[in-house]
Chains A and B, each alone.
Chain A
């Protein structure tokens, strides 16, 4: 087998050195009745060529986003990732290293994490950020637990326009951790009424910006009301590129900002691996979940980086840890930080502007399709349209016509029949004028028959 260096001769010599007659002697503690000789329902080894063929066949059954006019978003976005990013990410020293527990031989990882933390803090308008979480949704759940620790209250208020997968993720953890959750209903015309849900039993309010329908809202008043009740405002950003163009949540008063970082450096990959971002104020740093890289010096006084404040973490604190998280998303964070370094401030602003321009042009094109209305007044690169009839059916027919036209809201909320005519549509810098025209033409045709 190509991954196994030992030969049968090696094995025999080694067994002799170990002082046993055969490999089974090393499994002597296993009850003999459960020791398997074979698993007959699984295939045997295959060559590289055979594996490549078999998996290639499966891949070919999927419609790749790059092959069609593509407008799907809702928490994962298709952006152009410069070739440099994947090349650097695949360097052995990054790809095949472990969590940097031995800092003297892991300064590469530790320095990029320190740089990553700084970039995330700057982008979100916060003071500190951690070294990444699994993804945006689990980061949101962790932020809620963090707010509970800080406020010593156990009730979260979730905005109705929080991505339903995020809401469900928070709700699942909360229910099984015996915490309370109050979720407002979705408001496709724009969020309202959250302030009425806030009282002094609430630990945090979780709100998404831009929200799941693409609306942009100023959080300043909500932040003030939340904080007046002694609670924390958690802002969720699922499209991190938006922060190149819009006011960051930190500046609007958020206490914790969580985000999905996939848009920078990471491919769609059917939903993972992605990377969660978590940023907050300096005063809450000891209640943060996850790893933190910090600056220090070595014995010769040279500037160095090391994982720090580990007294929060499970490998030191065990049942008293701030989270059970161990492995997070180091390599995805590397892709994010390289992409953002390549862009720089000027590039990020241009990219964000380009996304907004594409979305505005697409919204105008779709508005002209008979029967279609755009619900948003303000948006970044994603907006919601109402179509006549069942949106899921429209999207399915568009797919057959070779256009992936967005997310029917019923995919996320099948029980809310009143929202079954809504499609969330995203546009990025990868969409051309021809894509937008093709979408409008196909939609016109689908709705006509």
Chain B
């Protein structure tokens, strides 16, 4: 979650030159070339037999020209990727306070169970009679999600949060079309994730921004002012991206429903309330759940995720296929929209097959380990940890909505940096030198120079004490005008600041073979 509004994208000052070594390496840190520079096309790290001579049946489409792919032997491959990995920060190695992204501990039991052949080595189109355990697992995970959301149905196939948003908003559009209504507006608070307006726009809706009131939450009266018969839905994140619970949400839901529209909830922050508050009790019609944020499946450097969507009674008939339906003879698995029993009117199919099974296994392993009691405790600890960070920094850094309780993340702005010449980005980069991944910066957009800190429940008190002591030291340095510590940061990372402008102006998106040198 990062927005670059108002931030510099140039590399910044170079600072001190790096100490020279012959290799460019620095002890454990190895400069690693691209596979295209170290691989050879004839080398392979996989031993395969050459098939005996046979007549090809390719209809004359045999590939003859070289592809250009490099190969590495197994030891070279291992070394290449191990070296690359050591240039990455990770939650396993340290606190990762990315607000709204929820970097919590990823239990290895999840990984182990997802790799059991009975889950990992089953095909999505083998006969359903040969995969009863897979269907039972999907049913059990659905049951958990239904209980946790207090909503009657859940679509399991969406592939990630944004895909879940699309699914939910499609169900809303389908429900309106079934009523013979074409509405054209979707209300989105200014603090929303970028995926919300992007999703609404994809479905042809005009996005109308709803400003927050001074305390950072959406005012029911403001929503009412925007409500017309042309509004299809409001997309609300609760807790919102400022880390605050939308306390008017039930009232908002009532007035949205009275106008014949729907409430979409972005469940990115469900980890703050799981086991404590059920979105169904707040009047939500559809909410996606990020299994990779809330239920500990790994983020893997940008996915895969999984984004099941829970539906209210009004939207449940429009849930996509495939879906599980309860029939006379127990649960039935419906793969074709036409096969769904009435009153179901599935909106269609969102992707091939059944969804992110590997993520389902991981998420269920996490839920079963915690139990309902443990999930509630995890939510409470996440909220407590965030408030502890807030309380530990409130005297030095500024809080845009006052020093009052937050949910799972604490939002600071850059007002306290005024006059120091130091920006939010500088502060974030200085954290890197201290061994921390920065918090989410410049998001949400409603706050200037935002710094959004989400420690999650995975951090111990000792870990938070050191983290807040570090931020306090940095904050004091900033206030003293020690610009040196910030302007050149990071100094000790594998790279100094990158020239992002150059990357965008002259995009180099792939390796290309070096051009033959021109004769001098």
Contacting residues, chain B, for A91 (C-beta < 8 A): 81-82, 85
Q: Do residues B34 and A114 form an inter-chain contact, with CB atoms below 8 A?
A: yes
**Min CB gap A89→B, angstroms:** 8
A23 within 8 A of B: yes
A418 within 8 A of B: no
Q: Do residues B350 and A347 form an inter-chain contact, with CB atoms below 8 A?
A: no
**Min CB gap B349→A, angstroms:** 4
Contacting residues, chain B, for A399 (C-beta < 8 A): 126-127, 129-130
**Min CB gap B477→A, angstroms:** 19
Q: Do residues A93 and B124 form an inter-chain contact, with CB atoms below 8 A?
A: no
Q: Which of A196-204, A225-233, A240-248 sits within the interface?
A: A240-248
B475 within 8 A of A: no
Q: In the complex, which residues 319-367 of chain A have their Cβ closer than 8 Å to any Cβ of chain B? A: 319-321, 323-332, 334, 338, 340-348, 350-351, 353-354, 356-358, 360-361, 363
| Per-position 1/0 for B81-99, Cβ under 8 A of A | 1101111111111001010
A42 within 8 A of B: yes
A318 within 8 A of B: yes
Given A64-B117, A331-B300, residue A315 in contact with residue B2 (CB < 8 A):
yes
In angstroms, Cα B275 to Cα A283, docked, is 50
| Per-position 1/0 for B275-309, Cβ under 8 A of A | 11110011000000010100010111111111000
Q: In the complex, which residues 99-129 of chain A have their Cβ closer than 8 Å to any Cβ of chain B? A: 99-109, 111-112, 114-115, 117-119, 121-123, 127-129
Nearest residue (CB) in B for A268 is: B123
Nearest residue (CB) in A for B118 is: A59
In angstroms, Cα B166 to Cα A176, docked, is 10
**Min CB gap A134→B, angstroms:** 4
Contacting residues, chain A, for B490 (C-beta < 8 A): 104-105
Nearest residue (CB) in B for A357 is: B51
B355 within 8 A of A: yes
Given A18-B388, A35-B276, residue A273 in contact with residue B11 (CB < 8 A):
no
A: number of interface residues (CB 8 Å) = 208
Can you name 21 A-B pairs with beta carbons within 8 Å?
Answer: A14-B384, A18-B390, A18-B405, A39-B148, A54-B368, A56-B113, A59-B116, A97-B299, A99-B101, A109-B301, A122-B69, A127-B510, A137-B351, A218-B59, A244-B63, A299-B499, A327-B299, A328-B303, A343-B44, A399-B126, A399-B130
Contacting residues, chain B, for A27 (C-beta < 8 A): 245, 276, 383
Nearest residue (CB) in B for A107 is: B87
Q: Do residues B496 and A299 form an inter-chain contact, with CB atoms below 8 A?
A: yes
Partner of A62, one of B4, B118, B388: B118
Contacting residues, chain B, for A64 (C-beta < 8 A): 117-118, 121-122
| Per-position 1/0 for B391-415, Cβ under 8 A of A | 1100000000000010100000000
In angstroms, Cα B1 to Cα A36, docked, is 30
In angstroms, Cα B13 to Cα A300, docked, is 9
**Min CB gap A27→B, angstroms:** 7
Q: Do residues A348 and B69 form an inter-chain contact, with CB atoms below 8 A?
A: yes
Partner of B130, one of A19, A44, A62, A313: A62
Q: Do residues B125 and A269 form an inter-chain contact, with CB atoms below 8 A?
A: no
Q: Do residues A95 and B106 form an inter-chain contact, with CB atoms below 8 A?
A: yes
In angstroms, Cα B384 to Cα A14, docked, is 7
Nearest residue (CB) in B for A407 is: B125
Given A100-B302, A175-B348, A357-B52, residue A42 in contact with residue B144 (CB < 8 A):
yes
B: number of interface residues (CB 8 Å) = 218
Q: Do residues A300 and B44 form an inter-chain contact, with CB atoms below 8 A?
A: no
A131 within 8 A of B: yes
Contacting residues, chain B, for A117 (C-beta < 8 A): 509-510
Q: Do residues B511 and A341 form an inter-chain contact, with CB atoms below 8 A?
A: no
Contacting residues, chain B, for A350 (C-beta < 8 A): 44, 48, 50
In angstroms, Cα B7 to Cα A230, docked, is 40
A297 within 8 A of B: yes
Contacting residues, chain B, for A56 (C-beta < 8 A): 113, 116, 118
Partner of A3, one of B111, B247, B339, B370: B370
B74 within 8 A of A: yes
Q: Do residues A346 and B377 form an inter-chain contact, with CB atoms below 8 A?
A: no
**Min CB gap B437→A, angstroms:** 6
**Min CB gap B409→A, angstroms:** 13
Q: Do residues A315 and B1 form an inter-chain contact, with CB atoms below 8 A?
A: yes
Q: Do residues A332 and B198 form an inter-chain contact, with CB atoms below 8 A?
A: no
In angstroms, Cα B51 to Cα A344, docked, is 18
Contacting residues, chain A, for B90 (C-beta < 8 A): 92-97
In angstroms, Cα B351 to Cα A111, docked, is 29
Q: Do residues A76 and B123 form an inter-chain contact, with CB atoms below 8 A?
A: yes
Q: Do residues B44 and A43 form an inter-chain contact, with CB atoms below 8 A?
A: no
B447 within 8 A of A: no
B344 within 8 A of A: no
Given A39-B147, A62-B119, A115-B36, residue A273 in contact with residue B130 (CB < 8 A):
no
Nearest residue (CB) in A for B119 is: A59
Q: Do residues B495 and A107 form an inter-chain contact, with CB atoms below 8 A?
A: yes
In angstroms, Cα B125 to Cα A275, docked, is 18
Contacting residues, chain B, for A14 (C-beta < 8 A): 384-385, 387-388, 461
Nearest residue (CB) in B for A88 is: B81
Nearest residue (CB) in B for A328 is: B303
Contacting residues, chain A, for B378 (C-beta < 8 A): 1, 3-4
